[in-house]
A = this chain, B = another copy of it.
Amino acid sequence: MKKINPSPSCLVGYRSTCPIANVLDIVGDKWTLLVVRDLLLSGKRRYGEFQSSPESIPTNILADRLKRLEAAGLVKKEFYQNNPPRAEYFITRKGAELGPVLQEMAQWGQKYIPGVIIPSQFNQPEIRD
Protein backbone atom coordinates (compact mmCIF):
# COMPACT_ATOMS: atom_id res chain seq x y z
CA MET A 1 0.00 0.00 0.00
CA LYS A 2 1.45 3.25 -1.08
CA LYS A 3 0.95 6.32 1.05
CA ILE A 4 0.85 9.66 -0.65
CA ASN A 5 1.98 12.69 1.28
CA PRO A 6 -0.98 15.08 1.10
CA SER A 7 1.07 18.27 1.61
CA PRO A 8 3.53 19.58 -0.98
CA SER A 9 7.19 19.43 -0.02
CA CYS A 10 7.49 23.20 0.27
CA LEU A 11 5.15 23.16 3.24
CA VAL A 12 6.98 20.46 5.19
CA GLY A 13 7.17 21.49 8.80
CA TYR A 14 4.31 23.95 8.45
CA ARG A 15 1.18 23.72 10.51
CA SER A 16 -1.21 23.23 7.61
CA THR A 17 -1.86 24.15 4.00
CA CYS A 18 -4.12 27.01 5.07
CA PRO A 19 -2.88 30.35 3.74
CA ILE A 20 -3.99 32.16 6.87
CA ALA A 21 -2.09 29.80 9.14
CA ASN A 22 1.00 30.20 7.02
CA VAL A 23 0.78 33.99 7.01
CA LEU A 24 0.40 33.90 10.78
CA ASP A 25 3.59 31.86 11.02
CA ILE A 26 5.36 34.88 9.53
CA VAL A 27 3.56 37.87 11.01
CA GLY A 28 1.46 36.33 13.79
CA ASP A 29 2.76 38.12 16.86
CA LYS A 30 2.42 41.45 18.60
CA TRP A 31 5.47 43.15 17.06
CA THR A 32 6.24 42.07 13.50
CA LEU A 33 3.40 43.95 11.84
CA LEU A 34 4.30 47.08 13.78
CA VAL A 35 7.74 47.04 12.19
CA VAL A 36 6.08 46.56 8.80
CA ARG A 37 3.78 49.46 9.63
CA ASP A 38 6.77 51.70 10.41
CA LEU A 39 8.50 50.74 7.18
CA LEU A 40 5.42 50.97 5.03
CA LEU A 41 3.36 53.78 6.50
CA SER A 42 5.86 55.92 8.36
CA GLY A 43 8.79 55.58 5.96
CA LYS A 44 11.18 54.60 8.73
CA ARG A 45 14.45 52.91 7.81
CA ARG A 46 16.82 52.87 10.75
CA TYR A 47 17.04 50.88 13.93
CA GLY A 48 16.72 53.94 16.10
CA GLU A 49 13.65 55.11 14.21
CA PHE A 50 11.84 51.85 14.90
CA GLN A 51 12.78 52.13 18.55
CA SER A 52 11.31 55.60 18.75
CA SER A 53 7.81 54.41 17.83
CA PRO A 54 5.28 54.95 20.62
CA GLU A 55 4.96 51.24 21.44
CA SER A 56 8.66 51.18 22.45
CA ILE A 57 9.64 47.76 21.20
CA PRO A 58 12.36 46.05 23.28
CA THR A 59 15.69 46.23 21.49
CA ASN A 60 16.33 42.50 21.39
CA ILE A 61 12.88 41.86 19.95
CA LEU A 62 13.46 44.51 17.30
CA ALA A 63 16.78 42.95 16.29
CA ASP A 64 15.12 39.56 16.11
CA ARG A 65 12.14 40.76 14.08
CA LEU A 66 14.31 42.59 11.56
CA LYS A 67 16.31 39.39 11.10
CA ARG A 68 13.18 37.30 10.60
CA LEU A 69 11.61 39.82 8.24
CA GLU A 70 14.78 39.81 6.18
CA ALA A 71 14.88 36.00 6.19
CA ALA A 72 11.26 35.94 5.04
CA GLY A 73 12.06 38.37 2.22
CA LEU A 74 9.80 41.16 3.45
CA VAL A 75 12.72 43.44 4.27
CA LYS A 76 16.03 44.24 2.57
CA LYS A 77 18.97 45.30 4.73
CA GLU A 78 21.50 47.62 3.14
CA PHE A 79 24.68 48.92 4.74
CA TYR A 80 25.39 52.57 4.13
CA GLN A 81 28.74 52.45 5.96
CA ASN A 82 31.15 49.70 6.93
CA ASN A 83 32.93 50.83 10.04
CA PRO A 84 31.13 50.85 12.33
CA PRO A 85 28.53 48.85 10.37
CA ARG A 86 25.38 50.91 9.88
CA ALA A 87 22.40 49.72 7.92
CA GLU A 88 19.08 50.88 6.59
CA TYR A 89 16.10 48.63 6.18
CA PHE A 90 13.82 48.80 3.19
CA ILE A 91 10.52 47.10 2.59
CA THR A 92 10.38 44.78 -0.41
CA ARG A 93 7.53 44.45 -2.86
CA LYS A 94 6.49 41.30 -1.02
CA GLY A 95 6.42 43.18 2.27
CA ALA A 96 4.68 46.19 0.79
CA GLU A 97 1.83 43.99 -0.37
CA LEU A 98 0.89 43.42 3.24
CA GLY A 99 -0.43 46.97 3.06
CA PRO A 100 -4.05 45.89 2.50
CA VAL A 101 -3.89 43.65 5.57
CA LEU A 102 -2.75 46.61 7.67
CA GLN A 103 -5.41 48.81 6.14
CA GLU A 104 -8.19 46.39 6.97
CA MET A 105 -6.88 46.06 10.50
CA ALA A 106 -6.75 49.83 10.90
CA GLN A 107 -10.31 50.16 9.63
CA TRP A 108 -11.59 47.52 12.01
CA GLY A 109 -9.72 49.11 14.88
CA GLN A 110 -11.10 52.51 14.07
CA LYS A 111 -14.61 51.10 14.09
CA TYR A 112 -14.41 48.95 17.21
CA ILE A 113 -11.69 50.37 19.47
CA PRO A 114 -12.67 53.77 20.81
CA GLY A 115 -9.84 56.24 21.18
CA VAL A 116 -7.52 55.07 18.45
CA ILE A 117 -6.17 57.70 16.11
CA ILE A 118 -5.49 57.14 12.43
CA PRO A 119 -2.72 59.49 11.26
CA SER A 120 -3.84 61.99 8.67
CA GLN A 121 -0.81 61.61 6.45
CA PHE A 122 1.49 58.77 5.55
CA ASN A 123 5.02 58.80 4.25
CA GLN A 124 5.56 56.88 1.10
CA PRO A 125 8.07 54.03 1.45
CA GLU A 126 10.91 53.28 -0.94
CA ILE A 127 10.59 49.74 -2.15
CA ARG A 128 13.77 47.72 -2.78
CA ASP A 129 14.15 44.11 -3.73
Q: How many residues of A contact B (CB 8 A)?
A: 47
Q: Is A48 an interface residue (CB 8 A)?
A: no
Residues of B within 8 A of A118 (CB): 19
Q: Is the CB of A115 within 8 A of B17?
A: yes
Most chain-B CB neighbours within 10 Å: which of A20, A23, A53? A20
Residues of B within 8 A of A8 (CB): 114-115
Residues of B within 8 A of A17 (CB): 54, 115-117
Residues of B within 8 A of A109 (CB): 19-20, 22-23
Binds B, one of A61-69, A98-106, A120-128: A98-106
Q: Is A1 an interface residue (CB 8 A)?
A: no
Residues of B within 8 A of A54 (CB): 15-18
Using known A-B contacts A15-B54, A55-B15, A108-B101, determine if residue A116 contacts B22 with beta carbons closer than 8 Å: yes
